[in-house]
């Protein structure tokens, strides 16, 4: 994978919004320079192949958050994460996909990266993405 660049919106929205000390991201998929790098659906027995897709989606969300930081501010805490998983029928290991995201945030932010989360299975996602991640951070 290339070096990460700011996520490019795929519609009429912004990558992140800030209100006071809170930053909310849009749903981030595993895109790089606007191009989808992984596709769905997530299949039973093939969870590990999604690790890099999840890491890229999380990277995009963190870049969007960091773009809203002012001066020497930093992320004080990740508050919540929603992980959408486009999975084949019968898939039931959504939380294992979300664990990749939790591990990535802990790796990048230490204990500040551990947050409440929700893992949701969906029929499909924009651009045929396997995952979409939305974060809320406190500054």
Structural domain spans, the chain: 16-138
Assess contact for 31 and 25: CB atoms under 8 A. Answer: no
Superfamily the domain 16-138 falls into: RutC-like (3.30.1330.40)
pLDDT, one tens digit per residue, over 59-110 is 999 999 999 999 999 999 999 999 999 999 999 999 999 999 999 999 999 9
Helix (H, G, I), strand (E, B) or coil at 9: coil
CA gap 69, 92 in Å, rounded = 37
Nearest by Cα to 139 from 16, 10, 42: 16
Residue 4 confidence (pLDDT) above 90: no
Strand ranges inside 2-48, DSSP E: 16-19, 22-25, 31-32, 35-36
Under the banding of pLDDT at 50, 70 and 90, the label for residue 3 is low
Mean pLDDT, residues 24-37: 96
Which pLDDT value is given to residue 1? 44
Report if pTM > 0.85: yes
Mean pLDDT computed over 2-22: 88
The answer, yes or no, to whether the previous bond of 128 is cis (omega within 30 of 0) is: no
Helices (H), 72-137: 94-109
């Amino acid at each position: 994978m290339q070096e990460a660049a700011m996520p490019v919106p795929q519609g009429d929205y912004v990558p992140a919004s800030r209100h006071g000390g809170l930053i909310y991201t849009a749903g981030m998929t595993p895109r790089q320079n606007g191009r989808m790098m992984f596709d769905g659906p997530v299949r039973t027995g093939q969870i590990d192949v999604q690790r890099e897709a999840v890491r890229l989606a999380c990277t995009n969300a963190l870049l969007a958050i960091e773009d809203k930081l002012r001066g020497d501010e930093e992320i004080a805490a990740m508050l919540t994460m929603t992980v959408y998983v486009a999975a084949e029928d019968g898939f039931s290991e959504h939380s294992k996909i979300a664990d990749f995201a939790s591990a990535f945030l802990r790796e990048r932010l230490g204990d500040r990266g551990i947050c409440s989360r929700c893992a949701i299975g969906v029929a499909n996602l924009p651009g045929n993405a396997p995952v979409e991640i939305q974060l809320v951070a406190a500054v």
